Amino acid sequence: MCGIVGYIGHREAYPIVLKGLQRLEYRGYDSAGIALYDGKDLNLCKTKGKVADLKTLLEKEISTSGKLGIGHTRWATHGVPNDVNSHPHYSNSGNLVIIHNGIIENYDSLKKELIKRGYTFQSDTDTEVLVNLIEDVMTNENIKLGKAVQLALNQVIGAYAIAVFDKNKPNEIVVAKLGSPLAIGIGEGEFFIASDASPFIEFTDNAIYLEDHEMAIVRLDKDIKIRKIEDDSLVNPYIQKLQLNLEQIEKGGYPHFMLKEIYEQPLAIKDTYRGRLLADEGIIKMAGIEDNMKRFLNADRIIIVACGTSWHAGLVAEYIFEDLARIPVEVEYASEFRYRNPVITEKDIVISISQSGETADTLAAIKLAKSKGAFVFGVCNVVGSSIARETDAGAYTHAGPEIGVASTKAFTTQITVLTLIALRLARAKGTMSSSDYRRHLHELELIPEKVTEALKADKHIQAISELYKDSRNMLYLGRGYNFPVALEGALKLKEISYIHAEGYPAAEMKHGPIALIDENMPVIIIATKKGHYDKVVSNIQEIKARKGKIIGIVTEGDVNVRELADHVIEVPETLENLSPLLTTIPLQLLSYHIAVLLGKNVDQPRNLAKSVTVE
Ligand code: F6R
C-alpha cells in the first residue's frame, strides 16, 4: 500500500514523479504529495485526494522546476487521509524530506522520546516520527544522511520502503527497504526510485530491486552502493533487465483498466501456458515442478495460503488437485494461518498464491511455513516480487501487469498455472488415464478461444446490469468447481459497486440464506451442464418458488435453466474442472457494468489498494 517515486538526474523531475504517481495510484489513492528541489529551495505540495487533485493544486501553488524530486500516493494507516498526514514529511529543521510505504510499529515510543528531546509533530503519522529520528541521529552523531538513516532504521520495528533527501546535499537520495518493495531504475546520469518499475519504464530497462534489510545511497556522481542496514556490509548490486513495456501499463483505448484486463484474458491465459503446455506431445513442462518432483510426489499434503481473489483461486485448485492428482489439499487465509500455530511438517508443501507477490499476510505465512521446514512454492504474477524471492521454487502466471484494483486476469491465470501443476502431478502419479490426461491438455489449449466466446455476451450482460444495478443485495451460488467462482463473483461486485453480495455453495442455501430470498433478491447461479447440473436445477426451482430473480450462468444451448430463470448468460462447453475459467467471465463483466452504471470508480474503489503490504 502506498506508492513512492523519486528522481535525480538531468531532466525536470516533476513530470516524471507526477506520471510515476499516476501509475502507482493502484497502490493507494487517498492522498498524494510531491517535494521538488529547484537548486535553491525545497518546494512541497501535498493534499488529500487523488494525484489529479494534487496536480491541479501543485501547479497553482509551487514552482514545478527542479531536477530532484520525490512523490507519494497514500493508503492511510496512521492518521486519517488529510492534507497534513499526506507525504512527503519534513523533519523539524525543514532540511530532510521523506516518503514512506509501510508501517513503523514502534513509532509511539520513538515519538515520545523525540518529544522529550524537543521535537514537535504536525501529523499523526509514523513517517514524520521516522524523518525526525533520522534528523536526531544525524545531529547528535554529527554524521552524514546515509549513516544516520542506517542507525535510525536499526531502532525501528516495522516495514518500510523509504526515500529521503537533505536539501543541503541535493545530489543524493537515500533509500532503504524492509517488507515493502523498492526498485531503483538506472539511466545515463540519472536514477529513478519507485515501488515498482512502471514509473520509469520509458527511461530505462535496467533496475535494481532492493532486498529486505538493504539500503542504498543513490548519488549522481558515484555508482550505487548497497549496504546491509544491520551491519553496514556491502552487497553486490544485481542489475535486472526489465521485461515490462509501456503498452502493458496503459489503458489501450479501454475506458478502464479493469475492462482491458477482462478482455486480455484470452491472451493472458495463453501466455500462462505458452511453452509449458505441449498438448500434441502430451507434455507439461514446468521447471519449478520438474526440479522438485520428488518432493511433490512424497508430499503428505499441500497447504495453499493466499488472500482475497488469490484465495479463491486456491479453492479452485483444491478441487482440481484432489480430483486429478489425489493429493490432500487445505486452503488457508494467510492472515489466519500465520497466527494460529498450524501443524506443518517437512512433508508438507505450501503453495502461496499472490498476484502482487507483496501481500504482507501471505509473505508472513510463507516465512512461518519455511521456519517449520515446509517446502514453499510460489504462484505469483509480478516478476521479482518479494514472494517470488522468498519461496523455494515457483511458477509465474505471466498475466502482465494488473492495474485495476479488482483482480480479474490474475484469477484466471492463477487457475491456469495451478491446473497445469495438478495435471503434471496427476500424470507423474498415474492418477489419470493417458486419454483423460490428453483430453484435459487439449481442452486447456482451447480455453483462450472459449474465453473470447464468453466475452461476446458483454452487451447482454450490460443490459442485465441495467436491471439489477439498484439492488441492495445479491446472492451468488455455485457447486463443486464453481463454488469458489460464486465467492469470487460476490467479491467482485462488493468491491467495485459497494453492493452487498454473498457467495455460497448452492446446496448450503437451504441452511440459511434461503431466508433472504424474495422478489427483490437477484440470485446469480452457476448451472453449467457437467457440474451437478440436476441438483443445481433443483436449487433454481427452490429460488423460483420463493420469487427470487434468477440469473443463470449456463452452458451454450441450455434449455432447462432457460425455462426457469429470468435471464441466462451462456458460456461455451468445457470440462467441468476447467469451467471456472469460463464461468468467471460473465461475473466479472456483471460487476464491471453495474459499477460503471452506478458511477463508481471502477479501477480505484474506495478504501482499497492493489497490493496490501500491511497486515
Ligand atoms: C480482489 C483483490 C484482492 C487480492 C488480495 C490478494 O479483487 O484484488 O482480494 O486478491 O488482496 O492480493 P495478491 O494476490 O496480490 O496477494
The pLDDT tens digits of the residues spanning 127-153 come to 999 999 999 999 999 999 999 999 999
**From the candidates 55, 111, 260, 610, which is the catalytic residue?**
610
Main-chain phi, psi angles of 87, to 5 degrees: -95, 165
Distance 213 CA to ligand 1 centre (A): 25
pLDDT of residue 480: 94
Cα separations (Å) of 74 from 23, 390, 608? 13, 26, 11
Q: What is the DSSP string of 296-344?
A: HHH-SEEEEEE-HHHHHHHHHHHHHIIIII---EEEEEHHHHTTS----
CB 242 within 8 A of CB 587: no
Residue 191, amino acid: F
- Whether 603 is in the pocket of ligand 1, judged by its Cβ within 6 Å, is no
- Whether 309 is in the pocket of ligand 1, judged by its Cβ within 6 Å, is yes
Position in ligand 1 atom list of the atom nearest CA 359:
16
Classify domain 251-452 at the CATH topology level: Rossmann fold (3.40.50)
Question: Quick one: which H or E segment has residue 47?
Answer: strand 42-48
Query: What pTM did the predictor assign?
Result: 0.84
3-state helix, strand, coil in the chain (%, to 5): 40, 25, 35
- Whether 362 is in the pocket of ligand 1, judged by its Cβ within 6 Å, is yes
Position in ligand 1 atom list of the atom nearest CA 387:
16
Enumerate the domain spans of the chain: 3-248, 251-452, 456-601
Are domains 3-248 and 456-601 of this chain identical in fold? no
Distance 142 CA to ligand 1 centre (A): 45
Per-residue model confidence as pLDDT tens digits over 250-262: 888 899 999 999 9
Residue whose C-alpha cell reads 478441487 in the numeric block? 319
pLDDT of residue 520: 92
pLDDT band at 80 (very low <50, low <70, confident <90, very high): confident
pLDDT band at 29 (very low <50, low <70, confident <90, very high): confident
Residue 453 buriedness (CB in 10 A; 0-12 / 13-18 / 19+): middle
What count of other Cβ atoms lies within 10 Å of the Cβ of residue 248? 14
- Whether 101 is in the pocket of ligand 1, judged by its Cβ within 6 Å, is no
Per-residue model confidence as pLDDT tens digits over 522-547: 999 999 998 789 889 999 999 998 99
pLDDT of residue 179: 85
Q: Measured between alpha carbons, how far is 407 from 488 in angstroms, rounded to an integer?
A: 10
CB 427 within 8 A of CB 437: yes
Per-residue model confidence as pLDDT tens digits over 194-230: 999 999 999 999 999 999 999 999 999 888 999 999 9
Q: Is 167 tagged catalytic? A: no
Q: Is 45 tagged catalytic? A: no
Ligand 1 pocket check: which of 309, 380, 391, 607 to mutate, most ligand atoms within 8 Å of Cβ?
A: 309
Q: Measured between alpha carbons, how far is 306 from 212 in angstroms, rounded to an integer?
A: 21
- Whether 406 is in the pocket of ligand 1, judged by its Cβ within 6 Å, is yes
pLDDT of residue 277: 96
Strands (E), 109-171: 158-166
| Alpha helices per DSSP H over 434-482 | 434-455, 458-468
Q: Measured between alpha carbons, how far is 163 from 458 in angstroms, rounded to an integer?
A: 44
- The pLDDT mean for the chain works out to 94
Q: Measured between alpha carbons, how far is 131 from 164 in angstroms, rounded to an integer?
A: 8
Position in ligand 1 atom list of the atom nearest CA 414:
14
Distance 410 CA to ligand 1 centre (A): 9
C-alpha cell at 590: 456483471
For 3-248, the fitting CATH number among 3.40.190.10, 3.40.50.970, 3.60.20.10, 3.40.50.2000 is 3.60.20.10
**From the candidates 2, 45, 307, 380, which is the catalytic residue?**
2
pLDDT of residue 610: 74
Classify domain 456-601 at the CATH topology level: Rossmann fold (3.40.50)
| Residue whose CA lies nearest to ligand 1 atom number 11 | 308
Main-chain phi, psi angles of 163, to 5 degrees: -135, 130
- Whether 359 is in the pocket of ligand 1, judged by its Cβ within 6 Å, is yes
pLDDT of residue 26: 83
Ligand 1 pocket check: which of 256, 355, 358, 381 to mutate, most ligand atoms within 8 Å of Cβ?
A: 355
- Whether 308 is in the pocket of ligand 1, judged by its Cβ within 6 Å, is yes
CB 358 within 8 A of CB 181: yes
Beta bridge partners of 219: 172
Q: Mean of the pLDDT values across residues 64-83?
A: 91
Ligand 1 pocket check: which of 256, 359, 403, 408 to mutate, most ligand atoms within 8 Å of Cβ?
A: 359
Provide the 8-state DSSP code for 239: P
* Position 113 pLDDT exceeds 80: yes
- Whether 407 is in the pocket of ligand 1, judged by its Cβ within 6 Å, is yes
Mean pLDDT lowest among 22-31, 36-45, 291-300, 472-481: 22-31
Per-residue model confidence as pLDDT tens digits over 236-287: 989 999 887 887 888 888 999 999 999 999 999 999 999 999 999 999 999 9
